[in-house]
Amino acid sequence: MLPQGWISCLVAGSGLVWIVDMDASVLAAAESALDHVFSDRVLLERALTHASLAGTRAESNERMEFLGDAVLGLVVCESIYTRYPQMLEGEMTKIKSLAVARETCAAMAHGLGLPGMLAMGKGMQTGGELPMSLAAAALESVIAALYLDAGYDAVRRFLRPRVDPVIDKAAESRHQQNYKSFLQQYAQQNQLAQPQYRVLDEQGPDHAKCFKVAVEIGDRRFCACWGQAKKKAEQEAALAALRELGVLSETDGGEPRTAPPVVK
């Protein structure tokens, strides 16, 4: 799948491979989203090329995703460390985990419009929303591109307005959106049975499977929820249980999915 503005052609070699060039309008849109004009636009093109469309995996965004993940983690750790000087390591680790989580990265990617700029092969087309993992990978890849093109300070200027609100919200919360851990603590404190998570259904292709999960405490089963990964579904189910138990309010933590998400 090529987003509007991409130009592609086939060349002969050991087999047929894609060579993908990005139209200037798509590059300009990506640069506008990142608020940075690239000196080396090849970095940006590679950051937005999925392995399913690249000539080789080394020419895709996978290596850049690896680097971008590390740079994102450094920015987040620095922010937590400087903004909360009295916070201890354990709490900082929990907040960092939330700020760099796949769900958080995917939400930032969608806010920037990156999924619509990502070039993928036909086998990745299933209709609907881009899988969370691919959206998150797109964000991490463009972070790497920005870092390689302009350095750490440019990445920090780009990321801090986006990650600091997530950090602050997590710091103010009792659970840092780790609802499974919070539910387990609640069960222990109230001498309840250990929460058990049951997969009730699964849908979608292998690369974008969704799961329906319910949590049980003793003989009580709580509302089942869907997620674009088993761990995500378990978190949604734990949130639903915490609400049913009256531990969290209906406005705390967003709205759990009770219907399967549409994935791409």
Q: Are residues 137 and 204 in the same domain?
A: no
Q: Does the pLDDT value for residue 1 go beyond 90? A: no
Whether 134 maps to a domain, the answer reads yes
Q: What's the total number of domains in the chain?
A: 2
**pLDDT of 24 over the 70 cut:** yes
- Angle separating helix axes 132-150 and 24-34, nearest 10 degrees: 80
Output the domain CATH number for residue 126.
1.10.1520.10
Q: Report the distance separating Cα 138 and Cα 136, nearest Å.
A: 5
Per the listing, tokens 């499977």 go with: 209
202 shares a domain with 143: no
pLDDT computed for residue 10 by the predictor: 37
| Same domain as 81, residue 40 | yes
Q: Chain-wide mean pLDDT for the chain?
A: 82
Angle between helices 132-150 and 152-172 (to 10 degrees): 140
Q: How does pLDDT run across 44-83, given as a tens digit for each residue? A: 988 988 766 655 566 668 899 999 999 999 999 999 999 9
164 and 184 fall within a common domain: no
Same domain, 141 and 190: no
Does residue 17 sit within a domain? Answer: yes
How many helices (H) and strands (E) in the chain? 9, 6
- 61 and 161 share one domain: yes
Q: Does the pLDDT of residue 127 top 70, yes or no?
A: no
Q: Residue 218: which domain range? A: 179-244
How long, in residues, is the chain? 264
110 & 163 share domain: yes
Q: Do 206 and 168 belong together in one domain?
A: no
Any domain includes 258: no
Is residue 98 predicted with pLDDT exceeding 90? no
In a domain, 252, yes or no: no
Tens digit of pLDDT for each residue in 136-182?
A: 999 999 999 999 999 999 999 999 999 999 999 888 775 556 788 88
Q: Are residues 27 and 140 in the same domain?
A: yes
Q: Do 48 and 99 sit in the same domain of this protein?
A: yes
The CATH number that applies at residue 221 is 3.30.160.20
pLDDT recorded at residue 91: 84
pLDDT of residue 261: 62
Q: Is residue 15 part of a domain?
A: yes
Q: Is residue 74 domain-shared with residue 146, that is, in the same domain?
A: yes
Query: Does the residue 261 lie in any domain?
Result: no
Last residue of a domain, one of 152, 172, 192: 172
Q: How much is the pTM?
A: 0.64
Q: Which residues are part of the catalytic machinery?
A: 69, 140
Residue 4 pLDDT: 46
> Is 158 buried (19+), middle (13-18) or exposed (0-12) by CB count in 10 A?
buried
- Final residue of a structural domain among 109, 143, 172: 172
Residue 16's pLDDT band, with cuts at 50, 70 and 90, is very low
